[in-house]
């Protein structure tokens, strides 16, 4: 297998080949990706919602060449003409299989079947077959990479919410939680056939799957989470839920396509928590389409007055907007 590993870099940057493809459901395809560069793959702790990058081939079918890449690899890549550099997208490491030179990353990719909108990542995954090649950027043993946002601190009650793009992350978090964890997880997917049987929660965390069907994206999910929290909310200290609130009701211009509000980072420039580790009580981790996440953020932060230290809101994608890199 040919690899363009970059041994000097604090991350794994190299070519992977599709080893196996498994169509899990109408909206998910599971890919197993292998390559010699994964010999150096490693994270500090459990995978949880560990993110990584894939670079898909350009329209010509060619992958960008990262041979000899150094610290300026990103700027060098961006300087390549857009039609030649391929497309970089973010995914979740669903699982790591094997070891040594046989290490493989498992990734569950959402096929954008329902909306009729297609991106290069979804298109590539839909047609992937063993032997197809893709570039990865992934955590390297012994080097900080970041990319895990689930940091519950001393929280005693969990709320995990995601649409289909966050199913792999929620699945990883549920798998890695301690057996005595308590809370609830809500996952909205396009159709009932997308309820994945290998997403397993500890006994104290109730997992609810929601099929979107014909409803607007996130509407059923929003209603279920609002109902779960109730007017008092698990750790609410202020505010009230509007009577009968069931839909996000968020104007498109109010949605930040790069929404990323965690206890230690704010995409909108808000002051982050001085003490960013969640205290006792509720910790909410919410990811998916940015409009859906914005609606739930309003409900939790403005409506229920939950402290920003206790919440992580992540826009994984924005309807109608292709990812920038
Ligand atoms: C931390 C993180 C982890 C992620 N993990 C995963 C993961 O494990 N699996 C996964 O599939 N995705 C995951 N995503 C989301 C994924 O990066 C985006 O969906 C991305 O836009 C897909 O790229 P694309 O080339 O297919 O579409 P793009 O070129 O980015 O977009 C093209 C068009 O498709 C639309 N679109 C994009 N995504 C979707 C979607 N899911 N459904 C319907 N329409 C869509 C866009 O709105 C746009 O109109 C993750 C994102 C982040 C930030």
Domain boundaries, the chain: 11-139, 157-317
The mean pLDDT value for 302-309 works out to: 93
Residue 114: what pLDDT? 66
Angle at 98 between CA 13 and CA 197, to 5 degrees: 105
Nearest to 145, CA basis, from 68, 66, 42, 46: 42
pTM across the whole model: 0.94
Of all protein residues, the one whose alpha carbon is nearest to atom 6 of ligand 1 is: 91
The mean pLDDT value for 11-38 works out to: 97
**Could you tell which of 112, 170, 172, 315 is best to mutate to test the pocket of ligand 1, judged by most ligand atoms within 8 Å of the CB?**
112
Please state the φ and ψ torsions of residue 235, each to the nearest 5 degrees.
Answer: -135, 30
Percent of the chain with pLDDT over 90: 77
Q: Which atom of ligand 1 is nearest to the CA of 56?
A: 25
At 49-59, the pLDDT tens digits run 999 999 999 98
What is the fold, at CATH topology level, of the domain defined by 157-317? Rossmann fold (3.40.50)
Tokens for 16, please give them: 């992977």
Please state the φ and ψ torsions of residue 186, each to the nearest 5 degrees.
Answer: -125, 125
Nearest to 114, CA basis, from 54, 196, 191, 186: 191
Of all protein residues, the one whose alpha carbon is nearest to atom 5 of ligand 1 is: 91
Nearest to 169, CA basis, from 313, 287, 310: 287
Nearest to 186, CA basis, from 202, 207, 203, 200: 207
Q: How confident is the model at residue 240 (pLDDT cuts 50, 70, 90)?
A: very low
Q: How confident is the model at residue 317 (pLDDT cuts 50, 70, 90)?
A: very high
Pick the CATH number of 11-139 from 1.10.10.10, 1.20.1250.20, 3.10.20.30, 2.40.30.10: 2.40.30.10
Average pLDDT along the chain: 90
Tokens for 324, please give them: 């920038």
The mean pLDDT value for 106-130 works out to: 91
Distance (Å) of CA 280 to CA 63, 86, 274 = 47, 45, 16
Rounded to the nearest angstrom, the distance between the alpha carbon of 291 and the centre of ligand 1 is 14
Query: What one-character DSSP code corresponds to residue 64?
Result: P
Contacts of 227 (CB under 8 A, 6+ apart): none
Q: Which atom of ligand 1 is nearest to the CA of 315?
A: 53
Of all protein residues, the one whose alpha carbon is nearest to atom 17 of ligand 1 is: 90
The mean pLDDT value for 2-11 works out to: 68
Tokens for 34, please give them: 């292998």
Of all protein residues, the one whose alpha carbon is nearest to atom 38 of ligand 1 is: 317
Q: How confident is the model at residue 234 (pLDDT cuts 50, 70, 90)?
A: very low
Whether residue 241 is predicted with pLDDT greater than 80 in this model: the reply is: no
Q: Whole-angstrom Cα distance, residue 220 to residue 180?
A: 28
Residue 242: what pLDDT? 45
At 266-290, the pLDDT tens digits run 999 988 878 889 999 999 999 999 9
Residue 325: what pLDDT? 65
Of all protein residues, the one whose alpha carbon is nearest to atom 32 of ligand 1 is: 119
Of all protein residues, the one whose alpha carbon is nearest to atom 37 of ligand 1 is: 317
Q: How confident is the model at residue 243 (pLDDT cuts 50, 70, 90)?
A: very low
Whether residue 312 is predicted with pLDDT greater than 90 in this model: the reply is: yes
Rounded to the nearest angstrom, the distance between the alpha carbon of 112 and the centre of ligand 1 is 8
Q: Whole-angstrom Cα distance, residue 150 to residue 162?
A: 13
Considering only residues 320 and 89, tell me which one the structure prediction assigns the higher pLDDT.
Answer: 89
Q: Which atom of ligand 1 is nearest to the CA of 149?
A: 1
Residue 301: what pLDDT? 93
Rounded to the nearest angstrom, the distance between the alpha carbon of 203 and the centre of ligand 1 is 31
Whether residue 1 is predicted with pLDDT greater than 60 in this model: the reply is: no
Sheet strand arrangement including 183-189: 205-211, 183-189, 157-162, 282-289, 311-317, 260-262, 265-266
Secondary structure (3-state) at 220: helix
Please state the φ and ψ torsions of residue 216, each to the nearest 5 degrees.
Answer: -60, 150
Whether residue 123 is predicted with pLDDT greater than 60 in this model: the reply is: yes
Secondary structure (3-state) at 266: strand
- Least confident window among 68-77, 139-148, 239-248: 239-248
Residue 236: what pLDDT? 36
Q: How confident is the model at residue 323 (pLDDT cuts 50, 70, 90)?
A: confident
Q: How confident is the model at residue 247 (pLDDT cuts 50, 70, 90)?
A: very low
Q: How confident is the model at residue 244 (pLDDT cuts 50, 70, 90)?
A: very low
Q: Compute CA 179 distance to the chain's CA centroid, rounded to the nearest angstrom.
A: 23
At 163-210, the pLDDT tens digits run 999 999 999 999 999 999 999 999 999 999 999 999 999 999 999 999
Rounded to the nearest angstrom, the distance between the alpha carbon of 212 and the centre of ligand 1 is 17
Q: Residues with Cβ within 6 A of ligand 1?
A: 51, 87, 89-92, 107-110, 112, 115, 117, 119-122, 164-165, 168, 316-323
Tokens for 269, please give them: 């420039």
Of all protein residues, the one whose alpha carbon is nearest to atom 18 of ligand 1 is: 317
How many CA atoms does the CB half-sphere of 323 hold within 13 Å?
A: 20
């Amino acid at each position: 297998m040919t690899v363009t590993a970059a041994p000097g870099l604090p991350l794994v940057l190299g070519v992977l080949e599709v080893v196996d493809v498994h169509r899990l459901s109408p909206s998910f395809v599971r890919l197993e990706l292998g390559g010699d560069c994964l010999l150096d793959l490693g994270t500090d702790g459990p995978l949880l919602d560990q993110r990584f990058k894939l670079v898909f081939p350009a329209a010509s079918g060619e992958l960008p060449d990262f041979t000899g890449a150094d610290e300026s690899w990103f700027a060098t890549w961006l300087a390549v003409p857009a039609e030649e550099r391929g497309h970089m997208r973010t995914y979740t490491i669903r699982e790591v299989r094997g070891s040594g030179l046989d290490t493989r990353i498992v990734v569950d990719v959402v096929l954008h079947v329902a909306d009729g909108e297609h991106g290069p990542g979804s298109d590539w995954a839909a047609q992937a077959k063993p032997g197809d090649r893709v570039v990865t950027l992934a955590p390297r043993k012994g080097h900080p990479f970041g990319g895990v946002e689930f940091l519950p601190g001393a929280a005693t009650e969990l709320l995990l919410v995601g649409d289909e793009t966050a199913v792999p992350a929620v699945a990883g978090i549920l798998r890695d939680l301690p057996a005595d964890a308590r809370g609830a997880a809500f996952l909205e997917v396009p159709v009932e056939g997308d309820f994945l049987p290998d997403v397993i929660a500890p006994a104290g965390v109730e997992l609810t799957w929601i099929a979107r069907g014909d409803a607007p994206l996130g509407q059923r999910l929003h209603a279920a989470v609002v109902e779960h929290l109730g007017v008092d909310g698990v750790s609410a200290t202020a505010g009230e839920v509007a009577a009968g609130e069931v839909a996000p009701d968020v104007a498109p211009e109010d949605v930040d396509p790069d929404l990323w509000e965690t206890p230690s980072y704010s995409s909108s420039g808000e002051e982050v928590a001085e003490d960013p580790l969640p205290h006792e009580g509720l910790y909410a981790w919410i990811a998916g389409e940015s409009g859906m996440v914005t609606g739930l953020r309003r409900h939790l932060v403005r409506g229920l007055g939950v402290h920003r230290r206790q919440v992580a809101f992540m826009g994984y994608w924005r309807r109608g907007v292709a990812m920038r890199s």
